Structure 1
Amino acid sequence: MSENAPPGWLSRLIPARRSDSLEEPPVVARVVHESRLGEDDSAELAVPLPVRAAAAWSWRVLAIAAAAALVGYLVIVFKTVVVAFVVAILLAVLLDPVSAWLRKRLRLPRTLAATVTLLGTLAIVVGLLTMAGRSVVAGFTDLADQASQGFSELVTWLSDGPLGIGEAQVQAWLDEAFGQLEANSGVLVSGALAATTSATQIVTGGVISLFCLFFFLREGRRIWQWFVRLAPARSRSRINEAGIRGWITLGGYARTQILVALADSIGIGLGAAILGLPLVLPLTILVFLGSFIPIVGALVTGSVAVLVALVDQDVQTAVIMLVIVLLVQQIEGNVLQPWLMGNAVSLHPVAVLLAVTAGTSVAGILGALLAVPIAAVVNTVVLYLHGHDKHPRAATDWHRPGGPPGTLFRSIADSYAATEGDEDDDDAAATASVTVGEPEDDDERAGGSPST
């Protein structure tokens, strides 16, 4: 030990100081180090580290952007299939509990339970549309006429009302607005074409949605497990668990959005009925459908009620209707959305706004409708894969979607040999697989088939 080294236990923590005569000068050490570098290493040292890091990040960001652009292009090209598939998944999330209840309580086979669920839903929807269809169709025509007349009266009130805005100024604003519309007519037309589809595409998408919905209800778990078993064995468990969390999030979003839309439509509809406005039922349905577009949907559709009040009665009634619409929006935005939607999807309002804007620019109205649930599912899956479980109860919930915990590999093994007669016994088979000894750790699961 050197004389300069500290005595005792500190000598094991603090190395002895070398004598000055043995130390190499920094310049000499750097020269010796650089002489040992190859030509490639010397060239690398010629580029500063921040520049190399920025270049590494740049090409990775470009690769991600190219992949995202390719996915967006494929979605636009195959939008009929993609939209039909996503709609079928959203409907399956809502109807799967009904199909499961028919299987477990009434002991119906899976095929029959899925058929009864699908046909029952269609019968309810067609019945409601038949009951209210005539008044709704006629009501929407009258709504369009009254909204147009209300806009004309609003312009007149701005010109002659207490605000004192001259008619020339109002006309200048209108001319500027129409000028902007004409200047961007190509963009508006292309956006309208992107948001609407032909009758053939609507029928095709509807048939695809019903077809996919039937099989999602009948054997959705097996379809998912088929995708899971394409992954490497060591990754299957995490992918399966992430998918289950995404499905739970999607179900929470769908149910919560229906409740929020129902609250908006009832609030604005009751306000219109109390004020004695006509066309209350079409207004209520319009607000209910518009509420599925987050942030702006109910406000835009509620403004139609304000225009109807302006035409049917007077400015005072229109102002009261406007206050009712704003009050409903405040209750939704400050109470319902944070309480219900926050617990269901845990998305920040900024993320919701950006998702809606991006979805609208890509796929029009359908993009605005589907952007938030897709963003919510992606957020849940990515967080779970990075160690943050938004649904920790799913780890121990025996009745969760996707099968009981610890039964994935037994279910995959059984799915290879499944027959038509076996498809009604998924839960029983999963129970038996746990009873006879399902592997508990990832290494054992990855090593092969579960022990029996």
Structure 2
Amino acid sequence: MSRLQRVRQNLRRAYDSGRESVRLAREDSRRTEPDTEVDFAPPPPEPDDVHHSTSSRDDAEVPHSLRIAAAWGWRLIVVGLVGWALLRFIGIISVVVIPLAVSLLLSALLAPAVGWLRRWRVPPSLATFLVLICGIAAVAGTLTLVITQFVNGLPQLTEGATAGIRTIQEWAKTGPLHLSDDQVNRAIDNAQSWINSNTASLTSTGIATAATVFEVLTGALLVLFSTFFFLRDGRKIWRFVVRLLPVNARWSLADAGDASWATLGAYVRATVLVAFIDAVGIGIALVILDIPFPFPLAALVFLGAFVPIIGAGISGTVAVLVALVDQGWVIALVVLGAVVLVQQLEGHVLQPLIMGRAVAIHPLAVIVGIASGVVLAGIIGALIAVPLIAVLNTGVRRLTRRRPEVPPTAVVVAGTSM
């Protein structure tokens, strides 16, 4: 045995003897000392999580209802901020957004005519061009007839308005007000001085109106070109947009988009039909009562009826005022009764029968949407609000519906049959 191995053996023996001596000492101390039991109280149990959504035990101390309210609160704040930013962005580019929205409405209205021509093997570009030309010709002919009748009947209306002002002056003198000639003349002078003092503001309004006319012309060109391409390449544009989305969401969003487009087309066609019936009803009443400008006033009612529930009534008040100036208050009351009758017919018969089949929207949602549209974008907002609500209603319902799951056996059968 070498010297190194001997040293290791001696160290091993010393280590074993030391451990043995320590063990014997512990056994001797246990025999000599009395047995004592020490009881340790267990720690209090930690509170369990109230809900699996809590990330720490501090959250468990907060009531469940308060946590749910806080979760809803910050999410609603985020959604509100996103919506506010989106509205601000739309307001900045409203010169582009509004013509595109009008183009979508016109495309939904004219798409069946283009589809009918294409089923007759007419090329897409030619079919779209023919439909647009016919639409522009109809609008131009209507505007020409309206302007011609208005220009021809303007002297008669001016005479009636002058006679009406004289009647009001006589009523102010002989009626319950009992105003003197000096008071009436003073009121006229005050109105004239107000007009003179506000000449600068009226001039700036005219300049703003000229700028608005330029924007309208630019928007009209954008509407024309956008409508042409929507009618010709609308399906291709939608497929391109869908391909930009994630693969798992393409089918659902494509299906929701098709359903929303069908709803928009049904809404526009139903609105045109209801507006036409309103205009014909009020126009017939104006012709029977011999009111000036029956066709222009009926055209105004037709345009106003595109704002549901309140549009035809507001535009019908213009016919009442014309009747008041030209025929007196008795005929004006009769015209008002005709407008109210047409409104009741629209609200209780036409809307449920025609519009109800196309778009199922509660009247409260319609009123709130129109009011919000007027506040945000004026007349254009009132025009677009209801179709936007209808499209969103259909799209959200289609996205949130439960699709039936295909059983595995059906997949196997389908795979074997191919």
TM range (shorter): 0.7 to 0.9
Mapped pair 1:85 → 2:107: no
Unaligned runs of 5+ in 2: 1-40, 192-205, 411-417
Alignment partners' CA distance in 2, 1:73 and 1:366: 16
Report the alpha carbon displacement of residue 295 of structure 1 after superposing the two structures with TM: 2.2
Q: Cα offset for 1:375? A: 0.8
| Counterpart contact for 2:161–2:326, Cα < 8 Å | no
Compared CA separation, residues 158 and 57, structure 1 to 2 (3 A) = farther
- Relative distance call for 1:319 and 1:354 in structure 2 (3 A) is same
**1:330 alignment counterpart:** 344
Q: Write the distance in 1 (CA, Å) between the matches of 2:162 and 2:258.
A: 48
Number of corresponding residues: 343
| Alpha-carbon distance in structure 2 between the residues aligned to 1:29 and 1:100 | 82
Note the C-alpha offset of 1:355: 0.3
Match of 2:375 in 1: 361
Instruction: Please give the alpha-carbon distance, in whole angstroms, between the structure 2 residues aligned to 1:293 and 1:145.
Output: 33
> Which residue does the alignment assign to 1:203?
217
Measure, in 1, the Cα distance between the counterparts of 2:372 and 2:227. Answer: 27
Residue in 1 aligned with 2:45?
Answer: 32
Distance 1:235 1:153 in 2: 69
Amino acid at match of 2:252: R
Q: Distance in 1 between matches of 2:208 and 2:257?
A: 30
Matched residue SS, 1:133: helix
Aligned amino acid, residue 87 of structure 1: V
Structure 1: runs of 5+ lacking an equivalent: 1-27, 179-191, 390-439, 445-451
Q: Which of 362, 375, 387 is 2:389 aligned to?
A: 375
TM-score, normalised with respect to structure 2:
0.72
* Structure 2 equivalent of residue 247 of structure 1: 261
Of residues 115, 119, 124 in structure 2, which corresponds to 1:100? 115
Q: Identity, % of aligned pairs?
A: 39
Q: Counterpart of 1:289?
A: 303
Match of 2:77 in 1: 62
Hey, what's the Cα distance between the residues in 1 that align with 2:310 and 2:211? 23
- The answer to whether the 8 Å contact 1:250/1:376 transfers is yes
3-state SS of 1:310 partner: helix
Q: Could you report, residue by residue, the CA deviation over 1:341-376 in whole angstroms, capped at 9, with x for unpaired residues?
A: 222111101000000000000001110111111111
Asked whether the 8 Å contact 1:260–1:336 carries over to 2, the reply is yes
Deviation at residue 247 of structure 1 after TM alignment = 0.7
CA distance, structure 2, for counterparts of residue 201 and residue 333 of structure 1? 35
Matches within 5 A, 1:211-230: 211-230=225-244
Amino acid at match of 1:79: S
Q: Deviations over 1:230-285 (max 9, x none)?
A: 12222211111111111111111111111111111111111111111122122111
Aligned residue type for 1:229? R
User: How do residues 377-396 of structure 1 correspond to structure 2 at under 5 angstroms?
Assistant: 377-387=391-401
Asked whether the 8 Å contact 2:48–2:57 carries over to 1, the reply is: no
Distance 1:42 1:210 in 2: 63
Contact 1:195 1:366 in 2 (8 A): no
Residues 1:247 and 1:270: Cα distance change in structure 2 (over 3 Å): same
**Cα separation, partners in 2 of 1:217 and 1:86, compared to 1, 3 Å:** same
Q: SS at 1:346's partner residue?
A: coil
Q: CA deviation at 1:111?
A: 1.8
Which residue does the alignment assign to 1:270?
284
1:53 and 2:79 equivalent? no
User: How far apart, in 1, do the equivalents of 2:397 and 2:291 lie?
Assistant: 48
Q: Distance in 2 between matches of 1:373 and 1:152?
A: 46
User: Partner letter of residue 83 of structure 1?
Assistant: I
Question: What aligned pairs does 1:101-180 form with structure 2 within 5 A after superposition?
Answer: 101-105=116-120, 107-136=121-150
- Looking at structure 1, the residues matched to 244 and 118 of structure 2 have their Cα atoms a distance apart, in angstroms, of 29
Deviation of the 1:141 alpha carbon: 9.0
Q: 1:300 to 1:276 in 2, by over 3 A?
A: same
Are the equivalent residues in 1 in contact too, given 2:307–2:382 (CA < 8 A)?
A: yes
User: Which region of structure 1 is more displaced relative to structure 2, 372-381 or 286-295?
Assistant: 286-295
TM-score, normalising length from structure 1? 0.67
Q: Which amino acid aligns with 1:34?
A: P
Q: Deviations over 1:202-241 (max 9, x none)?
A: 1211111111111111111010011111122222111111
Please tell me whether the aligned partners of residues 153 and 311 of structure 1 are also in contact (alpha carbons under 8 angstroms): no
Partner Cα distance (1:59, 1:194) in 2: 42
Q: Counterpart amino acid of 2:65?
A: P
Q: Would you say the 8 A contact 2:110–2:131 is kept in 1?
A: yes
